């Protein structure tokens, strides 16, 4: 009985973690908007959620070399690769809508819109989890 009540919480907890991962990816794109040659990344939320529900995990990894760097002169970012950690990744490159002379594919208007959209969805998921937790607590207390 209790497992039936917490299944929705588990689903939304996984969605919340994926939303946080996507927020980090979008923030990275925004931070690198002026970096020559930087290619924007994004998470396909539907594929990531299906993957999280199928195998019970919720993390992703970019399709990059195992040490996390694409050039020998790059500094490995341990925090980013640790938070994005399995081999089947819904993390993909964004499509370039306006080619830049320096090879950067980040479209700031699109990234800002994605950031706000993801923030609102994160907040909605968080409020749903909070509301459902309060409902379960009031049921336990008999109110």
Instruction: State whether residue 89 is helix, strand or coil.
Output: coil
In this predicted structure, the answer to whether residue 80 has a pLDDT above a threshold of 60 is no
Section 93-104 average pLDDT? 82
Domain coordinates of the chain in residue numbers? 2-141
Whole-angstrom Cα distance, residue 110 to residue 99? 14
Whole-angstrom Cα distance, residue 108 to residue 41? 13
User: Which pLDDT value is given to residue 92?
Assistant: 85
Pick the closest to residue 123 from 29, 26, 11, 23 (CA basis): 23
Crossing angle (nearest 10°) for helices 45-55 and 2-31? 140
pLDDT in tens, 10-43: 889 999 999 999 999 999 999 999 999 899 999 9
Which has more pLDDT, 69 or 45? Answer: 45
User: Which pLDDT value is given to residue 84?
Assistant: 46
In the predicted model, what is the mean pLDDT of the chain? Answer: 79
Whole-angstrom Cα distance, residue 97 to residue 106? 9
């Amino acid at each position: 009985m209790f497992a039936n009540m917490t299944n929705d919480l588990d689903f939304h907890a996984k969605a919340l973690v994926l939303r946080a991962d996507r927020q980090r990816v979008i923030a990275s794109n925004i931070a690198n908007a002026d970096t020559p040659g930087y290619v924007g990344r994004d998470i396909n939320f539907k594929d990531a959620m299906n993957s999280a529900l199928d195998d019970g995990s919720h993390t992703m990894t970019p399709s990059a070399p195992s040490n996390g760097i694409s050039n020998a002169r790059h500094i490995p970012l341990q925090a980013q690769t640790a938070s994005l950690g399995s081999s089947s990744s819904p993390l993909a490159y964004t499509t370039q809508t306006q080619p830049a002379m320096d090879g950067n594919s980040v479209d700031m208007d699109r990234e800002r819109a994605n950031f706000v959209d993801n923030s609102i969805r994160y907040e909605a998921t968080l409020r749903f989890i909070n509301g459902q937790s309060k409902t379960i607590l009031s049921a336990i207390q008999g109110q």
